[in-house]
Amino acid sequence: MGRARQRRKLRILRDDHIGDLLGAIFFDIAPGHDQAILERIGEYLGGRVRIVMAELTADAAEVEIEMRALDAEANRLAAAADDLRLKGARRGAYALYREALELDPLNRAATYGLGVLLADREDFEAALRMFKLAREAGGDDAELLLAMGRVCVRTERVASAINYFERAFELEPGNFAVRRALADLGRRPKVQARPAPADKPPNPGKDAPANKRN
């Protein structure tokens, strides 16, 4: 079965790449040098991905890519790898995640699961690279952000860890693990204030004053 050519959209956040080579597109490349930006993103994503377009803002790059992938088969392998990982069969899970990424190099489940295994091995830099790809390919969820924050704590990137934990709290304010991670760093979760309720329009049948009888 041939790999289908697909187009996908990624969102690369500036704050995920401060201090690395890709982060230079936000700081070091002058406006108007679009080709240099495309080349830098292409180097980051690898040779199997073709950059179609990239729109740069102050805090993110919205990227459209084209690639060949067997995403359904990659998802199946990633699900099998997840099952092995949760059962403690890490070696088998690692092999399946790698196989899934051969079929789809930006598979969200495989990049996240492989990141978890790499973090367990204390290969924190490689783990963080996988987590960033998972975020760029599939967006935010509390579990991913919690994992990213924990890796940043282990690598003494405390400010980044706090940012990830606070974003996770925004998504899942009731998540005990996120609350505990913030507390361990001496931070109180930032609870978003609820907007004041709008004034209710008067109900003519109920709120209107009663007519006085003479």
Mean pLDDT of 180-209: 66
Same-domain pairing of 51 and 18: yes
Is 96 within a domain? yes
Q: Which of 83, 98, 125 is the last residue of a domain?
A: 125
Whole-model pTM? Answer: 0.85
For the CA atoms of 174, 175, 180, 186, the dihedral, rounded to the nearest 10 degrees, stands at: -60
Could you tell me the residue range of the domain that residue 88 belongs to?
Answer: 70-125
Same-domain pairing of 24 and 76: no
Please tell me the predicted confidence (pLDDT) of residue 186. Answer: 92
| Partner residues linked to 9 by β-bridges | 64
Is 176 within a domain? yes
**Is residue 171's pLDDT more than 80?**
yes
**Is residue 30's pLDDT more than 90?**
no
Please tell me the predicted confidence (pLDDT) of residue 29. Answer: 73
State whether the Cα torsion 55-140-178-81 is positive or negative. negative
C-alpha distance from residue 150 to each of 131, 135, 154, 190 (Å): 11, 15, 6, 19
Kindly report, residue by residue over 44-77, the tens digit of the pLDDT. Answer: 999 999 999 999 999 999 999 999 999 999 999 9
Same-domain pairing of 75 and 109: yes
Mean pLDDT of 82-105: 97
Same-domain pairing of 58 and 96: no
Can you give the C-alpha Rg of the chain in angstroms?
A: 23
Kindly report, residue by residue over 113-169, the tens digit of the pLDDT. Answer: 999 999 999 999 999 999 999 999 999 999 999 999 999 999 999 999 999 999 999
Edge-to-edge order in the sheet of strand 4-13: 4-13, 60-69, 49-56
